[in-house]
Amino acid sequence: MASPNLKRMFAADKLKLGHSIFEFNSPGLGQIIAAAGVDFVFLDMEHSGFGIAETKRAITGLRAGNIPTLVRPPSDESHHIGRVLDAGADGLIMPMVSSKEEAEHIVSCMKYPPMGKRGVALNIAHDRYQPGDAAATLAATNRRTAFVALIETVEGIENIDEIAAVKGLDCLWIGHFDLSCSLGINGQFDHPDFIKAANKVKRAAKKHNKALGRLTADAAGAIALNKQGYDVLCYSGDLWVYQQALIAGISAIRDGCNPARAKEGTRKSQRKSPRKRAKGN
C-alpha cells in the first residue's frame, strides 16, 4: 500500500477533514475512523500520555485504515522530530511556532539532505519496512512529509507573514485557545483582538498559498469556519466524542426511566438564558 501524501492533500483545493486522538490507542481505530470518511488524524503527544512507543503502535493501527497521521511532538527538539517521523508520522503539527527561524529549524530537522539535516535510517517504520533505492526513498519522503505550524502566540501573529513564506511549510493552523491566552483574552473567540489576529493568519495563508487549519468542537462550528476560508478542519477528538455520546445516552435513559426527573430537567432548561450561538472552537 502506497504511503499517503499529506503535502499533496494539504495543497489540494478542497476541504480536508480530520479527527484528533488524545486518549485511546485501540488497534481498530484506523478502520473505525476510515469508515467515517475522515481524511487524516491529528495524534497528540504534547498534552496526552502518548510516548514514542504508544505513538508508533497508534500509527500502525491507523495504517490499517490507510489514514495519514499528523503528529504533534512534545517539542521542536531535533530528537523529538526525528523519532516521531521514524515511527511513521506522515506529517508534523508543531506547537508554538512564533518566528521564521523556528519554522526553518523545523523544516531542517524533518527533511533529509539536501533540504535538511534529518538523520537517515532506512527500511524501518517510516518507509513501511520496504527495501528500495536509498536516494529515491529519501527524495520521496521529502515530497510527502507535511509541516503544519500552530500559530498560537502573539509573536507568531506578529511574524506571520515571514512564517508563512518559509519553504516546506504546508499549513497555518490557529491554536485558538493558546492564542486567546497569549492575547490576554482567555477563551474569548469573539473578542475583536482574537478576530483581528485570526484574520491576519487568514491573509498570510492566502498570500502564500498555504492551507488554513483549526480544531472545531462541533459540526456547526466547522461549517462556519469553512465559510470563513478554513480548508483543514479537525473535528473534535476521541475522548470528547465518546464522553459527549455517553453523557447524552445515559441522561436520555435516566430521563426515560424517571419521568419526574425529565420534567424537572425541562423546567431547569426553560429557566436558563437563551442558548448562545454555536462557535467554531
- Give which of 42, 101, 99, 52 is closest to 74, Cα–Cα: 52
Going by C-alpha positions, the residue among 75, 115, 117 that lies closest to residue 92 is 75
Q: Hey, how many other C-beta atoms are within 10 angstroms of the C-beta on 124? A: 12
For the chain, helix (H) and strand (E) counts, in that order, are 13, 8
95, 150 Cβ separation under 8 angstroms: yes
Q: Which residues pair with 72 in a beta bridge?
A: 44
3-state secondary structure of 187: coil
Residue from 19, 47, 126, 191 carrying the catalytic annotation = 47
Is residue 105 annotated as a catalytic residue, yes or no?
no
Alpha carbons 135 and 191: distance in angstroms, whole number: 50
Cell digits for 20?
A: 484528533
Rounded to 5°, the CA angle 278-280-281 comes to: 110
- Which residues, in sequence order, are CB contacts of 87 under 8 Å at separation 6+? 52, 55, 56, 59, 125, 126
| Residue 127: closest CA among 112, 113, 138 | 138
3-state secondary structure of 58: helix
Quote the cell numbers at residue 214.
483549526
Supply the residues annotated as catalytic.
47
